[in-house]
Amino acid sequence: MLRHGKGAVAPSRRRILGGAAGLAAAGATGPLVSGCGGPAKAEGGTLKFWHFYDSASSDPAMRGQAKWFDDVIRDWNATHDVKVEPFFVPGTSYQGSKMVTAFASGTGPDIFLLSPGDFLRYQNGGILADLTPHMDRAAVADYGTSLTSRVVEGKVYALPMEVEPLAIFYNVRNWEKAGLSEADIPTTWDGLLDAGDKLRAKGGGAGLVFETDPGYYQNFTWYCWMWQGGGDVLDKDGNVTFDSKAARQGLSLWQDAVRHGIAPRTKPAAGDQLSAFKAGQAGMWQSGIWMVNTFKVGAPELEYGVFKLPTPPGGRYSTAVGGWSFCASTQSSNPDAAAEFCGWALGRMNKKSVDRTVSWCTGVKSDVSPRASALKAATAKGGYDSWAMKKFKNEIFPGGRPEPRYPPVVYKAVSDAIQATMLGGKGVASEADRAAQTIEAYMKSYQGASLI
Amino acid sequence: MSSIATERQQAAAPPAAAEHPPRRRLSRKHREWIAAGLFLLPDGLGLSVFVILPMFFSIVLSFFQVSGFGSYEWIGLGNYERMFNDPYFWSSMWVTAKYVVIMVPVLFVVSLGLGILMKQKLPGMAVYRTALFMPYMLSLVVAGLLWKFMFDEQTGVANKIVGAFGISPQSWLGDPSLALYSVILVTVWYMMGYYMIIFLAGLNEIPKEYYEAAKIDGASPWTSFRKITWPLLRPTSFFVLIMTTVAAITGTFDLVYSLTAGGPANGTAVAMFYIYQQAFVFGEYGYASALGTFLVLIMVVLSWVIFKLTKGGRFDDGE
């Protein structure tokens, strides 16, 4: 049968209808099977950028942050042939099933945001495109240690837009009710538990709130307590060192806080720190710099304070530093353009690129800038003039250490140890030992990028 | 011209009736079959795309090691072998077993009790029925978030209620010895309205005359229930038992996710949650598929056991 040229056989009506039905079915089942419910991959010359900032949110801070993304994309589209389109994915499904199923079925986004805890999963899965060729060499140096956990074999695979150190926020109303003053701000773990105990007894709310739900975030908020005693999950050579005095000490701190009723077993106000502080339901809460903007927008009248994490006897101050990054997908139909977008947006030395970081970290949100030049520019513009931002920048951030990039099995072992000791009342020694053994067994067969 | 026109008319004329037998009309039975098929087609398509195909893919996937981002390696029964040596999975199966064994009978009894209560002709019953059914209209995640506030240690209504009885405040979702029961309580609250309606429909099928005859014979309400309601409700009970068992095993994920995230200390990490974690947190799609397939097998076995125990919902003893 001739297929080309004049002699081609004209298709029958039945064939045309059948073919159309087949195409429609294929078109419909593609996204259905992937579970995404919509096109995500580059179509034509358009790149999809998935983020979780809702432009229709009732929260004005969130709307402002969504607008920042729209502005970045608008600037790019004005000067480039390949267009970028924002695609909002609600936070819970963004970090849950949505993105992983999309990538697993080949319909993932071209550009997306990634947290450090998830970095290795995507890196080892071959999803992350190399951004280095699209960055200015000077910009790599400008980022400095902020890039450490996003680099594999000298190549940059994620560009951080923010740096978020953890500290303890306290509620001045509860603080005063408990008869505490600024002079009582604790500098040691014992002092922290004492203050928490007084707040619980007299402040009328939870004394000290630690994260209680198992997950990457809980691990992130706990690591710093272990680091303060000099402990770690893995040492510099990749050996498992979790079964240490420092890890047991860190687990004991959270266990004691819960056992003595100082820290609640579940977070007040279903985890909404703003509501809990407004209602006086919590005296202290371990949280991050992002709360500065949340309080500023959501409760400008609220009086609160913030102090750096206290240290154990003989320990050294440390805090965990998190933050999201721009990434490009190797699965994109145009990975080069997707990677170029990331480099163009945040990884150049020109004023616009630096200003984007400045406006994100000190305009629409409250963060420490991951770039030295942006930090300098933001400081010059008064972004860190408020007492809280100044404290974060000058006192809390300097002891910061990036959130580790452990694969899921390592995360789960640590998470189980935290949960079992904090809420299950199990012995810290046995749980630290069990977690160390699990990690050690896993590390024997682990293949992938370095965990350090 | 006219002769040509006549030839054309002749050519276009329908063939003589004698040459072609008349077209047979479809029988009524066939027409009904076609109509039924057309009505079932959309549902059948949905079932194929959303249930049968994914189930088939899941079974196939269970024989592969999947990296999570597109690489597949055939490992045969490797995932199943791993499953039998995975203490976390068996721990989650133990949590699931506790959940099923407690939740199913409680939900059954509460729904049946409510169904019987709602059948009574008392003023305002329509309002109560609607109120009891309302939770089922919510999404499980929303229900979970609502109860998260109600279980709040400081401000939650749950502690206010127990406080009225002189009981000290409890950590409903933070205490491993309480959390599973709290999740069961929310599940029963969420589902009882739906199964109440199912029981109500079953109760309405029982002819009134049976009760009237029993009353004339002097039977007590308990005897009427035992001799009339319970045996005649067997098909409904069978349906409810199967549905609640399957729901207890598979439908718990949303609640656990929104209420406790599997905590505290894995106390509410039911099998469905563990499978979710393996697939979407750890990216172990092949292993998660093997666990899912195993869970389906468990449900088939349980359904068979229930079928045998309730004699398939038949009224008689099947003799």
Most confident of A425-439, B146-160, B220-234: A425-439
The tens digit of pLDDT for each residue in A393-450 reads: 999 999 999 999 998 899 999 999 999 999 999 999 999 999 999 999 999 988 888 8
Average pLDDT of chain A?
A: 89
Output the pLDDT for position B282. Answer: 84
Output the pLDDT for position A30. Answer: 38
Determine the Cα–Cα distance for residues B92 and A137; give it in Å rounded to an integer.
50
pTM: 0.86
Residue type, A426: K
Across the interface, of A127, A419, A426, the residue whose CB is closest to B69 is A127
Give the orientation angle of helix A245-259 with respect to helix A408-422, to 10 degrees. 40
Determine the Cα–Cα distance for residues B204 and B115; give it in Å rounded to an integer.
10
Q: How far is CA B32 from CA A96, B25, B133, in A?
A: 46, 13, 35
**H or E element at residue A400:** strand A400-402
Question: Per DSSP, what are the bridge partners of residue A71?
Answer: none
Asked if B70's CB is within 8 angstroms of A424's CB, the reply is: no
Q: What is the DSSP letter of A208?
A: E
A448 touches chain B (CB under 8 A): no
Rounded to the nearest angstrom, the minimum Cα separation between A135 and chain B is 26
Read off the tokens for B293: 């397939």
B147 touches chain A (CB under 8 A): no
Determine the Cα–Cα distance for residues B305 and B288; give it in Å rounded to an integer.
26
A438 touches chain B (CB under 8 A): no
Q: Is the pLDDT of residue A91 over 70?
A: yes
Q: What are phi and psi of A282, to 5 degrees?
A: -145, 140
CB B177 within 8 A of CB B268: no
Residue with token string 């150190």: A165
CB B74 within 8 A of CB B60: no
Q: What percent of chain A has pLDDT over 90?
A: 77
> Would you tell me how many other CB atoms lie within 10 Å of the CB of residue B47?
12
Across the range B198-209, mean pLDDT stands at 94
Across the range A225-249, mean pLDDT stands at 96
DSSP 3-state of A233: coil
CA B230 vs. chain centroid, Å, equals 22
- A282-288 vs A325-328, strand pairing mode: unpaired
Asked if A419's CB is within 8 angstroms of B266's CB, the reply is: yes
Output the pLDDT for position A34. Answer: 39
Output the pLDDT for position B8. Answer: 52
Cβ neighbours of residue B31 under 8 Å, at least 6 residues apart? Answer: none
To probe the interface with B, which of A266, A278, A430 has the most B CB atoms within 10 Å?
Answer: A266
A416 touches chain B (CB under 8 A): yes
B152 touches chain A (CB under 8 A): yes
**Which of A107, A132, A138 has the alpha carbon at shortest distance from A27?**
A107
Question: Per DSSP, what are the bridge partners of residue B114?
Answer: none
ipTM above 0.85, yes or no: no
Output the pLDDT for position A207. Answer: 96
The per-residue DSSP string of B67-123 comes to -SSS-EEE-TTHHHHHHHT-HHHHHHHHHHHHHHHHHHHHHHHHHHHHHHHHHS--T
Asked if B149's CB is within 8 angstroms of A419's CB, the reply is: no
The tens digit of pLDDT for each residue in A36-47 reads: 334 444 445 799
Asked if A281's CB is within 8 angstroms of B68's CB, the reply is: no
Across the range B135-157, mean pLDDT stands at 91
Q: Where does the pLDDT of residue A156 fall: very low under 50, low under 70, confident under 90, or very high at 90 and above? A: very high
DSSP 3-state of B224: helix
Average pLDDT of chain B?
A: 88
Read off the tokens for B198: 């199912």
Which residue of chain A comes nearest to B146, CA vs CA? Answer: A270
Across the range A41-54, mean pLDDT stands at 80
Asked if A97's CB is within 8 angstroms of B280's CB, the reply is: yes
Across the range B303-310, mean pLDDT stands at 87
Determine the Cα–Cα distance for residues A360 and A29; give it in Å rounded to an integer.
39
Across the interface, of B69, B155, B176, the residue whose CB is closest to A125 is B69
